[in-house]
Amino acid sequence: MQYVKLGRTGLKVSRLCLGTMNFGPLTTEKDSFAIMDRALELGINFFDTANVYGWKKGEGVTEQIIGRWFAQGGNRREKVVIATKVYGVMGDWPNESRLSAYHIKRACEESLRRLKTDHIDLYQMHHIDRDTPWEEIWQAMEQLVQQGKVIYVGSSNFAGWHIAQANCEAAQRHFMGLVSEQCLYNLAARTVEMDVLPACEAYGLGVIPWSPLAGGMLGGALAKMTEGRRAEEGRQKEIKKHRPQLEQYEALCRELGEKPADVALAWLLENPVVTAPIIGPRTMEQLEGSLRALDIKLSKKTLNKLDEIWPGPGGPAPEAFAW
């Protein structure tokens, strides 16, 4: 396994991050335990979750599964850099969502309880809260850091200007601020190249791409369809929309002798701002197969061809939309 520092921090994390969103809804607890054990054996030390995962309001199903896995001992907790999130709706009563200091404190305590741990390594804001001032957000986060309940703070789904604003406000408070941004980024979704990635580079945030395979579309969707495997209804529309590109993409992968999923991950890993794409395996086979991406080195010619097939927004802003 390869390791890299998370943004400007001294924290070393694996170049692949284990996403746990499937744990509970699609992957049984027993299989989830096996996948996490195997991830550690493979050297993956970076796990990502969220208090809303499991999709039963207020229950934090996925966090509970991870907590029970930690509770088995064997230095599981000590070996893992655990990242979770706050923002989502956790109940029907007022103040059970978003980023008020009240909710941040309460949500953190509840995540700690479910995860059966005394601290969260990376506490991420799942979305921007335009109705809560940064003074309030940072005061709440500072208190959690001072109490030892949180070590680092990150963001998810922020715009570039949100990252700049957040870290400028943090600097005025002599607080470290954001150290990572988790965003939608893959060959078919490159909007973040305009302002999010440049902001992350400028402010020293590690980028943690979610949906690196575009919900499976970049994982050989056309080849799987020829084998008789049917994509989810929502993905069928995306596959139909991008079919000409997918045909070229899968043909290129065949020329390279690599699986489409591995090429998609390898493409993300070529970007120096990217810390670790989030892989969300439902099965052990998917987990182990993801490691191939770490050994793939894409040539300049291949990278240019991928840009032709999956063009980005035209570079960072303002060049992307101005002269």
Cα–Cα distances (Å) from 167 to 24, 120, 214, in that order, read 35, 20, 29
Specify whether the CB–CB gap between 309 and 252 falls below 8 A. Answer: yes
**DSSP H/E element including 153:** strand 150-156
**Amino acid identity, position 68:** R
Specify whether the CB–CB gap between 125 and 150 falls below 8 A. Answer: no
Exposed e or buried b for every residue in 202-221, given b needs 16+ CB within 10 A? ebbbbbbbbbbbbbbbbbbb
Nearest by Cα to 86 from 11, 135, 137: 137
Instruction: Give 104's strand partners.
Output: none
Complete DSSP assignment for 281-302: -SSHHHHHHHGGGGG----HHH
Specify whether the CB–CB gap between 45 and 2 falls below 8 A. Answer: no
Nearest by Cα to 23 from 49, 56, 45: 49
102 is catalytic: no
Catalytic position from the list 3, 53, 152, 185: 53
Complete DSSP assignment for 59-113: T-HHHHHHHHHHTT-TTHHHH-EEEEEE-S---SSTTSSSS-HHHHHHHHHHHHH
Alpha carbons 246 and 46: distance in angstroms, whole number: 30
CA angle 46–104–87, rounded 5-degree value: 70
Q: Catalytic residue positions?
A: 53
